[in-house]
């Protein structure tokens, strides 16, 4: 090979590497754009075993995690639904201080940068609750105690209305299943009701105060399908298209109970269970719901 042709081939190689590099950069940029600008909102009921954890991503990329399940499993489930480079979550919401809802939030606080945490103000003397509260202070995460009437705006038309606890109620004196944060997520014409471990007493309270406001397309069934929740009256007002049950396989509590499963069948509401389907993914474009599995 003479000097001239070796020069040319060197130049060609250089161009080739440059093109590969350019292509790789373009792929990364488009991946980031694709992940950040999703049309509509995505709601994931994470498969965390016996407990609750729901991850919501709005179309502008704002992210919310409602409860964290009973342990570290939430971390591997989050890594499946979040981009690999994303190590922050805008808002954590603690529905109430029971361990099957907050133990995983401790792991999330240790592993993600969290913008703020929202709580009902209900207290517990359990070690897991004390650890969570200490970690919130240590990490200087902004904490908000919210009640009925509050709104959490995710932007681009997605927002939560806080339905419970009742405004003015002293939640520090309430039991964990009474002093509970219940939220309704709105996106366009679609809505999702997150009930935590709400039981019949507070269901009745909601029916008596704002029955018409309960109608939702998706109902996260209260207290993992326990018979102490999801009364016929409450279900009749919510009238969901889908019922989601967040529950662990062969759990010691016998959740969900046959009574509640029968009731949902009687109301002709399709049941989506995390112990059967794993993480449940529902997308909304503001008009229609798409259940991925």
Which residue number, 178 or 197, has a Cβ lying nearer to Zn ion?
197
Which listed range, 75-83, 100-108, 165-173, 267-275, lies at the site for Zn ion (CB under 5 A)? Answer: 100-108
Closest approach of Zn ion to the CB of residue 241, in Å:
24
Which residue number, 43 or 245, has a Cβ lying nearer to Zn ion?
245
In angstroms, the CA 106 to CA 202 distance is: 27
Closest approach of Zn ion to the CB of residue 167, in Å:
24
x/- map, 151-190, Zn ion, by CB under 5 A: ----------------------------------------
Which residue number, 57 or 67, has a Cβ lying nearer to Zn ion?
67
Torsion angle of C-alpha atoms 261, 262, 264, 268, degrees rounded to 10: 130
Closest approach of Zn ion to the CB of residue 74, in Å:
14
Which residue number, 40 or 222, has a Cβ lying nearer to Zn ion?
222
Which listed range, 1-9, 20-28, 99-107, 108-116, lies at the site for Zn ion (CB under 5 A)? Answer: 99-107
Which listed range, 20-28, 29-37, 95-103, 133-141, lies at the site for Zn ion (CB under 5 A)? Answer: 95-103
Which residue number, 77 or 197, has a Cβ lying nearer to Zn ion?
197
179-202 as b/e, with b when 16 or more CB fall inside 10 Å? bbbbbbbbbeebbbbbbbbbbbeb
Which residue number, 64 or 180, has a Cβ lying nearer to Zn ion?
180
Give the binding-site size for Zn ion (rule: CB under 5 A).
Answer: 2
77 binds Zn ion (CB under 5 A): no
205-234 as b/e, with b when 16 or more CB fall inside 10 Å? bbbeeeeeebebbbbbbbbbbbbbbbbeeb
**Of residues 7-46, which lie at the interface with Zn ion (CB under 5 A)?**
none
Which residue number, 82 or 102, has a Cβ lying nearer to Zn ion?
102
Query: To which H or E segment does residue 128 belong?
Result: helix 127-138
C-beta separation of 70 from 48 below 8 A = yes
Ramachandran region, residue 162 (left: φ > 0; alpha: ψ -120 to 50; beta: rest): beta
Query: To which H or E segment does residue 266 belong?
Result: helix 258-266
Instruction: Give every strand in the sheet of 271-273, ordered side by side.
Output: 151-155, 158-164, 182-187, 190-194, 218-220, 242-245, 271-273
C-beta separation of 269 from 230 below 8 A = no
3-state SS, residue 233? helix
**Of residues 189-208, which lie at the interface with Zn ion (CB under 5 A)?**
197
User: Which of 42, 100, 107, 203 contacts Zn ion by CB under 5 A?
Assistant: 100
In angstroms, the CA 41 to CA 23 distance is: 30
Contact residues for Zn ion (CB under 5 A)?
100, 197
């Amino acid at each position: 090979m003479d000097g001239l042709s070796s020069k040319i081939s060197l130049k060609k190689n250089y161009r080739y590497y440059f093109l590969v590099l350019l292509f790789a950069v373009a792929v990364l940029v488009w991946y980031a754009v694709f992940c950040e600008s999703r049309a509509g909102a995505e709601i994931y009921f994470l498969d965390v075993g016996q407990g609750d954890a729901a991850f919501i991503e709005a179309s502008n990329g704002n992210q919310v995690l409602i409860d964290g399940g009973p342990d570290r499993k939430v971390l591997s489930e989050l890594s499946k639904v979040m981009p690999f480079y994303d190590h922050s979550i805008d808002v954590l919401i603690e529905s109430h201080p029971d361990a099957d809802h907050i133990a995983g939030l401790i792991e999330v606080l240790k592993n993600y940068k969290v913008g703020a945490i929202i709580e009902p103000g209900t207290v517990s003397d359990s070690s897991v609750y004390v650890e969570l509260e200490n970690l919130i202070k240590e990490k200087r995460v902004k904490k908000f105690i919210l009640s009925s009437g509050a709104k959490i705006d995710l932007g681009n038309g997605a927002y939560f209305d806080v339905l419970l606890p009742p405004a003015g109620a002293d939640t520090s004196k309430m039991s964990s299943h009474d002093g509970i944060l219940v939220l309704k997520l709105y996106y366009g014409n679609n809505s999702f009701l997150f009930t935590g471990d709400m039981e019949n007493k507070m269901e009745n309270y909601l029916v008596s105060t704002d029955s018409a406001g309960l109608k939702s397309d998706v109902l996260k069934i209260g207290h993992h399908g326990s018979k102490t929740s999801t009364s016929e009256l409450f279900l009749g007002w919510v009238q969901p298209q889908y019922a989601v049950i967040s529950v662990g396989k062969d759990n010691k509590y016998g959740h969900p109970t046959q009574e509640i499963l029968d009731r949902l069948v009687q109301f002709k509401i399709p049941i989506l269970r995390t112990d059967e389907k794993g993480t449940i993914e529902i997308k909304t474009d503001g008009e229609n719901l798409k259940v991925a599995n």
